[in-house]
């Protein structure tokens, strides 16, 4: 149902079962997937594609032009997957040509009030961004990561799968997968063991990741030697440890320790 007080461009594509609340504005070149619910006073700008069964709460700004000085009005996009929850006052921006032209958000993510995703970010599945969490441009967030309230992540950083970033944390380097980070300038505080147990990780996997953490980050070895030592050990046969090692080896900004 589309409320009569909503403004929906005739060139927008609205699938069946979509609800759009009063005073929301849906521009041209927008696609909203089946069963999604758009609350009142939501603005969805052109170039936005929203999947199925998403719920967007009041006063959110979806697909706005990127806050980038180099952006000159080029046609770019925001792609949002299925089953996402986007709470009040969330801002999700389109991409820039320099960053590939699109911001991409996966499925079943939870964006709490006032969280912000800037241009050209790539967000996986089942990520949680708590109230006021902020991503600069060109950031990669892997699956199941949790970004605490009022945290800020520097552009071009990566956050690994199942990582947990505490509230009020400033992130300027890559956060390795499966780890817990906190502090005004983020530091690692061990494995995100509680989160991994909640996701039903095997005890063998958790033990292997704890061993990898001690070898890589607390052995006193250089990062290069620590990665080699962990890679030459039996724990490297655990897929999650292999992912951790590859994530670290692929860093461009450096790894939070």
Enumerate the active-site residues: 119-120, 137
Burial of 52 (0-12, 13-18, 19+ CB in 10 A): middle
> What value, to the nearest 5°, has the Cα angle with vertex 87 and ends 158 and 128?
30
What are the Cα distances from residue 48, in Å, to 123, 146, 226? 15, 24, 44
**Cα 210 from Cα 212, distance rounded (Å):** 5
**8 Å CB contact between 38 and 17:** no
**Cα 191 from Cα 199, distance rounded (Å):** 14
**Cα 240 from Cα 201, distance rounded (Å):** 10
Calculate Rg over the CA atoms of the chain.
20
What are the Cα distances from residue 166, in Å, to 1, 148, 163? 40, 5, 10
Edge-to-edge, what's the strand order for the sheet holding 164-165? 19-20, 37-38, 55-56, 85-86, 110-111, 128-129, 146-147, 164-165, 179-182, 187-191
């Amino acid at each position: 149902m589309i409320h009569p007080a909503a403004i929906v461009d005739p060139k927008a594509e609205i699938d069946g079962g979509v609800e759009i609340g009063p005073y929301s504005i849906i521009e041209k070149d927008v696609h909203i997937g089946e069963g999604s619910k758009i609350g009142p006073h939501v603005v969805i700008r052109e170039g936005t594609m929203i999947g199925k069964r998403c719920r967007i709460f009041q006063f959110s700004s979806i697909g706005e032009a990127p806050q980038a000085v180099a952006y000159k009005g080029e046609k770019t996009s925001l792609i949002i997957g299925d089953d996402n929850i986007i709470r009040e006052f969330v801002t999700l921006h389109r991409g820039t040509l320099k960053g590939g032209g699109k911001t991409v958000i996966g499925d079943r993510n939870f964006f709490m009030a006032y969280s912000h995703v800037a241009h050209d970010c790539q967000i996986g599945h089942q990520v949680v961004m708590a109230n006021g969490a902020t991503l600069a441009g060109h950031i990669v967030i892997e699956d199941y990561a949790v970004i605490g309230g009022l945290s800020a992540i520097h552009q071009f950083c990566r956050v690994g799968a199942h990582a947990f970033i505490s509230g009020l944390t400033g992130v300027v380097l890559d956060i390795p997968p499966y780890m817990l980070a906190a502090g005004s300038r983020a530091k690692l505080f061990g494995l995100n063991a509680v989160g991994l147990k909640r996701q039903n990780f095997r005890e063998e996997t958790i033990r292997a990741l704890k061993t990898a953490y001690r070898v890589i980050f607390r052995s006193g070895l250089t990062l290069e030697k620590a990665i080699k030592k962990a890679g030459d050990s039996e724990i490297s046969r655990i897929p999650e440890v292999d992912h951790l090692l590859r994530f670290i080896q692929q860093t461009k900004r450096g790894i939070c320790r």
